[in-house]
Amino acid sequence: MTKKPRIGIALSGGAARCIAHLGVLEVLEKEGIVIDSIAGTSGGAFVGALYASGLGVDKIKEIALQLSWRAMVKPVFSKQGLISGKNLHRYISKYIGALHFKDLQIPLAVVAADLKSGDKVVLTEGLVSEAVTASCSLPVIFSPAHGVGKILVDGGIASNLPVLTLVENMGATLTIAVDVNDRARELSNLNNLFQIGIHTVTLFAKKNAAVEKRFADIVINVDASGISLIDLKKGPLILKRGRAAAEKQIPFLKKCLKEFSYF
């Protein structure tokens, strides 16, 4: 008998575009495909943490469509960033609470980057909110987080689409990569530190995501054309794009799963 695969899903970073992950998860649930592990970076880590905690997709959609940059990036200046990481952590904790990784219903790996070395740091222990805060800490904009003896910043710098983390750290035998930045037009104007910070991470993220995408069994590319990284108001459209991208890949995904006698 063919051994049932351990399905892992990698959720890319992409700020507001990460709302599309919910459209993808919604389609997978509808098709009866159960996720065994999750690896997420930045906004993908936030969505992944909420889903791994046991919240249903409908509830997470409610949260996503109410997200506010004004509340999230309320200026509280620090020496290491325009905005204190404490405010970001407080905002993330509002939704994730005091959950530890061991409390999650689905195994989760959160990816951050070591500011000194640029290396990927995989977080699977401790408070989930602290790990997600580290993964979302955009350099220059948010002050970096401190953990595991390192200075941690946005994981997009090292691994924006953490496919290899699923295999190396989570034991996945069939990997689904969800890239919410396909066909995206990046910033052409770099007029302030916020734009510079986003552009810097985007440059690294685009390159490392292209590399890791090659290792995925199934790739779901979400069309991000016309959607900027800060377009939270386009939530319904982003959800629709996520659903469409997932539905397009369902036939191939089912074909892969049938080889494992999944259905």
Catalytic residue among 114, 129, 137, 154: 154
CA distances (Å), 76 to each of 34, 42, 85, in order? 41, 21, 9
Catalytic residue among 42, 84, 129, 135: 42
Which segments of the chain are extended strands (E)? Answer: 7-11, 37-41, 108-114, 120-123, 145-147, 150-154, 174-182, 218-223
Alpha-carbon dihedral angle through residues 242, 248, 250, 255, given to the nearest 10 degrees: -150
Is 231 considered catalytic here? no
Task: Please give the Cα distance from 80 to 116 (Å, whole number).
Answer: 14
Is 182 considered catalytic here? no
Give me the count of residues in the chain: 263
The CA-CA-CA angle for residues 245, 161, 236, to 5°, reads: 40
Is 239 within 8 Å of 20 (Cβ atoms)? yes
List the catalytic residues. 42, 154
